[in-house]
Structure 1
Amino acid sequence: MEFELLGWPEEGPTLRLDHEQFAYAGKFVMSSTGKAVCRDGSLVGAAAFDPDRTDPETLCIRYVTVRKDRRGEGIGPQLLAFVRERAAERGFDRVTIGVNNPFSYQAAYRAGFCFTGAEQGLGELELEWPGDRSTARYQAGLDRFRARDLSDAEREFLREKRDTAPPRLDG
C-alpha cells in the first residue's frame, strides 16, 4: 500500500473519483482542500483536509473515502493516520474529523483519534488527535450513536462494542 500527499490546500490539488465507487467523489474536485491518497496498484482511498477556519493550529479532515470493493480492509484508518502524521510534521498541534456513523468512528479511533464530546454539522461526532483515549470517552461516543435510528449492521456493531475499551492503534 502506498500513501501520497498530493498537496496542501494552498497548492490547489484536485482529484477526480468515480462517483459510483467512492462516496463524496464530487468533493475531491474542489481545489480548496489538500488531498492525500492511498494506492495499491490503483487508487483505493482519498482524504481531503484544510486548516480550521477559527484555529490555524488545527487541521480538519473534511472527507475520507475508500473504494467500495476495498472497505473493511483497514485502508481508512491507515489513510487517516498518514494525514495526521503529515499534519504533525507541518506543525499542526491538533487534527479533527467529524464522523456520522459508528464504522467511521471506529476507523478514526484506530488511527489515533478520540471523541471530544462535541457534535458538529449534521449530527457528526467530533474526534480529535491528540485526545482522551479513555474507555469512558470512547463509550460516550458510541452511546450517542446508540440513541439514533440505525441500520441492523450498525446496531449489531454497537452491541459488540458495548463495555469494550477503545481499539488499539493500527500500525
Structure 2
Amino acid sequence: MEFALCGWPEDAHPLRLDYREFAYAGKFVMTTTGKAVVGDDGVVAAAAFDEDRTDSDTLCVRYVTVRRDRQGEGIGPLLLRFVRERAVERGYDRLTIGANNPFSYQAAYRAGFCFAGEERGLGELTLEWPGDRTTGRYQSGLAVFRQRDLSEGEQAFLDDKHDGEPPPVVDPPT
C-alpha cells in the first residue's frame, strides 16, 4: 500500500470518491480541507483535515473513510498515523478527531489518539494526540458508547473490550 499526502487545506485539492464504496464521499470534494490517501489498486482509504478554527497549533482530522470492501483490515489507523506524522513534520503540536462509534474510536486509539474527555457535534467523542493513554481514560470513552443505542456488532465489540487496556499504537506506515 502506498500512502500519499494530496495536499494541505490551502492547496484546494478536491478528491472524488464513489459514494457507493466510501462513507462521507461527498465531504472529500470540498477544497477547504487537506487530503491524504492510501491505495494499492486505486484509493482504498482517505482522510480530510484542516486547522482548528480556534487554535492554529492544532490540526483537526474531519473525516476518515475506508472503502467498504477493505474495512476491518487496519488501514484506517495506519492512515491516521500517516496524517499525524505529516502534521507533526509541518509543526502542529496537537491533533484532534471525532469518533461517532466504537470502531472509529478504537481505530483512532490504534493511531495514537486518546479520549479527551469531551463530546462535540452530534455525539462525537473528541480524541486527541498527544494525550492520556491510561486504561481509565480509554474505558471512560467506551463507557459513553455503552450508554447509546448500538448495533449488535457494536455491543459485542464493547463487551469484548470491557476492562481492557488501550490497544497498542500501530507502527508507522512504510
Could you state the TM-score of these two structures normalised by the residue count of structure 2?
Answer: 0.98
Aligned to 1:8: 8
Matched AA of 1:48: A
Whole-angstrom CA distance in 2 between matches of 1:29 and 1:44: 16
Structure 1 residue 41: deviation in Å?
A: 2.1
Alignment of 1:85-164 (within 5 A): 85-164=85-164
Instruction: Tell me how far 1:149 sits from its aligned partner.
Output: 0.4
By how many angstroms is 1:42 displaced? Answer: 1.4
Alignment partner of 2:136: what SS?
helix
Partner Cα distance (2:3, 2:95) in 1: 18
Q: Structure 2: any 5+ residue segments left out of the alignment?
A: none
- Give the 5 Å matches for 1:43-54: 43-54=43-54
Runs of 4+ in 1 over 2 A off after TM superposition: none
RMSD: 0.4
Structure 1 residue runs without a partner (length 5+): none
Tell me the equivalent position of 1:25.
25
Q: Which residue of 2 aligns with 1:57?
A: 57
Secondary structure of the residue aligned to 2:98 is strand
TM-score (norm 1): 0.99
For 2:97 and 2:40, how far apart are their aligned partners in 1? 24
Q: Secondary structure at the match of 1:36?
A: strand
